[in-house]
Structure 1
Amino acid sequence: MSDNQPENIIGGKSFTAVAVNCASKAGEWIKSKMGSFTQLDTKYSMHDLVTEVDKGSERMIRNLIGTHFPHHSFLGEEGVEPGPEASAKALMDMSDSEYLWIVDPIDGTTNYVHGFPFFSVSIALAYRGQVIVGVVYDPSRDEMFVAERGKGAYVRGRKIQVSEENTLSQSLIATGFPADHHIALPANMKGIQALAPKVRNLRIAGSAALHLAYVAAGRLSGFWEYNLSSWDIAAGSLLVEEAGGRLSDLNGETYHIGIRNVSASNGLIHEELLEELELAKASQ
């Protein structure tokens, strides 16, 4: 095993197969609970919601991964205190982990709460800080997006690739509304105002992981959002990369798991997207 290319199987268990199995089981369970949760709480802001289903999904995933890989580290959204400082600290505390599973048990909880069918289970595995497996599962459509470093990206077993639009004017772009209303949301609103007249259209559907999967599948030309956490981005980042796209922060720095302000695209429109956000003074 080299430093940069770990084997994807330990003790006969494939990392990717375990990630897919966890996402499938958790997704099936959260779909079965839709509309029947009993406890709804807010975390960082009134827009940052959590239910007992989020927590139950994370426990299920943690336990399943722990059964196969008991010595691996685990970073899940519901095990971290709310807010950007806490999520950054949690990631820093695990920065020395050889294998780190990074999990969002329901990405798009607000959609889930309202019965809007755009939410997902996001599971990534990082080896020495680099994502090597990424799985995003959409239980509403039964779409499993899977990427393994160096082996491409797939949905329902079919290889996917990013779109071919080469200008913003041809592009369908997505973004999100950050939970931070003091800095991130005003900055993002400037970006929306600047980009809306220059793109084919904008979409704001409420799951960063699924937005990234859609960039990978060529359904979106690009995506940007502020103040995300590693569990929002990690799995989708590998999907985009393995489908031929590009990820960076909003200043153009190459993606790593600590990045919070992210831009993803088919690569062809990336510089133009970053330039427009900079002109709008939307980048931080």
Structure 2
Amino acid sequence: MDNIKQEDIEDICFNVSQNIILPKFKNLSDNDINYKNGSDLVTAADIEAEKELKKNLLKILPTSNFIGEEEYSRNENILNFYNEDAYCWTVDPIDGTTNFANGRDKFAIMIALTFKEKILRSWIYKPLDKIMCSAIVNEGAYINNNKIITKEANIIEETIGSISTKYWEPGFKDKLKIFKNIFKEVNSYRCIGFEYIDIGIGIRNFAILSKLSPWDHIPGILFVREAGGADIDFDKNKYDFTKKNKNLIVSNSEDLNLKILEKLGEYS
């Protein structure tokens, strides 16, 4: 892992953004937009960006494995790479595809490097702003190589965040719609990478999540943890990408997670 240079990952993300992603932004043809698994949007930029990211990341670590969102849609067995005795890249080529396809500005490249159940490094790159957010386990979280620490907010009624309701069971989904009223503000960027960044910075305070696809969450989880934030599921366990987690609370602090979980229990 020591031979992975930050500037190499930055160059890869910059080049993929400039050569593949941004030329398609607000410039997608009908043929560039399709659906996978029936309802999940995918664009030609997603597919081409993932191919280029895979090629270049595997050059950095030739013996590593690669799990990409688009590749997974064709072969779900690639998740078995997490069990192998090897480094593994996990990539979402365009997090926020719906935003991207509709010309909205919140989308990002998300990359993580893991070994077995351990998250070692992560990167979230904002193509339009040319901003790199990264994290190294036990070393810290960074924005353009400047170390950051989150701001804690422990009074629930003063917090801002998001609650993902799409994939919950109907009964619990209805309870969440009522539950969200206890917070100061609840909204979604429709790009979880941006939300993880803002939780890490302290602009936002929490996210309550379901459907925990690893490429959506591994990069952001490490960023928030290294910034001083925390994560917990409804059974008070930390996020483990090698298991099929059903739910997750991510926030600026362990204390806020527990307070949210306690309040959530009152609505269950």
Matched, 1:72 2:37: no
Q: Corresponding residue for 2:12?
A: 22
Q: Corresponding residue for 1:4?
A: none
From 185, 195, 215, the equivalent of 1:201 is 185
From 254, 257, 265, the equivalent of 1:270 is 257
1:249 is displaced (CA, Å) by 2.1
Matched, 1:117 2:109: no
Give the helix-richer structure, 1 or 2: 2
Matches within 5 A, 1:240-259: 240-257=224-241, 258=243, 259=245
1:41 is displaced (CA, Å) by 1.3
1:93 is displaced (CA, Å) by 4.7
Q: Corresponding residue for 2:33?
A: 40
Q: Corresponding residue for 2:48?
A: 56
1:96 is displaced (CA, Å) by 1.5
Matches within 5 A, 1:197-236: 197-236=181-220
From 182, 191, 211, the equivalent of 2:176 is 191
Q: Which amino acid aligns with 1:152?
A: G
Paired residue secondary structure (1:66): helix
Over 3 Å counting, the alpha-carbon distance change for 1:90 and 1:157 in structure 2 is: same
RMSD after superposition: 2.1
Structure 1 segments unaligned to the other structure (5+ residues): 1-7
CA distance in 2, matches of 1:25, 1:40: 22
Q: Which amino acid aligns with 2:188?
A: I
Alpha-carbon displacement from aligned partner over 1:136-167 (angstroms, at most 9, x marks no partner): 11112222111111211111222222222111
From 139, 142, 162, the equivalent of 1:154 is 142
Native 8 Å contact 1:23 1:123 kept in 2? no
CA distance in 1, matches of 2:170, 2:141: 31
Paired residue secondary structure (2:195): helix
Native 8 Å contact 2:156 2:182 kept in 1? yes
Paired residue secondary structure (1:63): helix
Q: Which amino acid aligns with 2:41?
A: L
Q: Structure 1 vs Structure 2: percent identity of aligned residues?
A: 24
1:277 is displaced (CA, Å) by 2.8
1:241 is displaced (CA, Å) by 0.5
Q: Corresponding residue for 1:3?
A: none
Q: Corresponding residue for 2:130?
A: 142
Alpha-carbon displacement from aligned partner over 1:106-128 (angstroms, at most 9, x marks no partner): 01100101111111110000022
Q: Corresponding residue for 1:5?
A: none
Paired residue secondary structure (1:173): strand
1:52 is displaced (CA, Å) by 0.8
1:192 is displaced (CA, Å) by 3.6
- Segment drifting more, 262-271 vs 238-247: 262-271
1:176 is displaced (CA, Å) by 3.4
CA distance in 1, matches of 2:142, 2:185: 26
1:189 is displaced (CA, Å) by 5.0
TM-score normalised according to structure 2 size: 0.89
Q: Which amino acid aligns with 1:214?
A: D
Native 8 Å contact 1:176 1:205 kept in 2? no
Q: Which amino acid aligns with 1:159?
A: K
Q: Corresponding residue for 1:261?
A: 247
How many corresponding residue pairs? 262
1:190 is displaced (CA, Å) by 2.9
Paired residue secondary structure (2:220): helix
Native 8 Å contact 1:249 1:255 kept in 2? yes
